[in-house]
Amino acid sequence: MNSSKPYFITAIGTDSGKTLISAIVTEALQADYWKPIQAGFPRDTEKVQTLVSNSISQFHSEAYLLKHPVSPHAAAQREGIEIDIQTLSLPDTRNTLIIEGAGGVLVPVNKQHFVIDIARKFEAEVILVANIYLGSINHTLLTINELKRRNIPVKGIIFNGPANEDSEQFILNYSQYPLLLHVYPEEQITPEVVLSYAQQLKNFFIV
């Protein structure tokens, strides 16, 4: 098992771009990828695998693969199971591990735990994905406040989508988190696009 701590990709909401960012970070670090809880299809693991072009990264199977594209706790309930994060264990790898969450930080996985509790369990450093839209400052600052309240370490923020300099600067000033990358709208998301962003991102990591 790799002695370095994993990175946990979370976001301010469900459609903020975690899977794309997970692919970029995985490519940048030539890391392994793991999504412990998948609710609905297609699987994000398969998507990341199609976007990562290096030959080192490995893609680990989900601990919970649920059919319904809803909150993990609701999807599990429909299938008559309960997600138990205490039984989760990291995949066996000597490589850096990228863990992708589900939805935002306070998406419930059962009656007691939230997605962010997985990051805490594995002492992972968070990379926060934020997309800019009307109301996103509020959603981003609420997420930041929760991360700070829980004393979760944060590597930095990645903005995803069209630029809004005023909103982005306000968020960065408030959070005091570094800006790792800005991913802009692309006509098509390809392995080449992912690799281009990955090369920009490498500067923020000790590889």
Q: Give the active site residues.
A: 35
At position 57, the amino acid (one-letter code) is S
For 30-124, strand residue ranges (E) read 32-34, 37-39, 59-60, 64-66, 97-104
Which residue ranges make up the annotated binding site for ATP?
15-20, 44, 100-103, 186
Q: What is the rounded distance in angstroms from the CA atom of residue 200 to the CA atom of residue 179?
A: 12
Which residue ranges make up the annotated binding site for Mg(2+)?
19, 44, 100
DSSP secondary structure string, 108-141? BSSSS-BTHHHHHHTTPEEEEEE---TTHHHHHH
Cα 169 from chain centroid (whole Å): 22
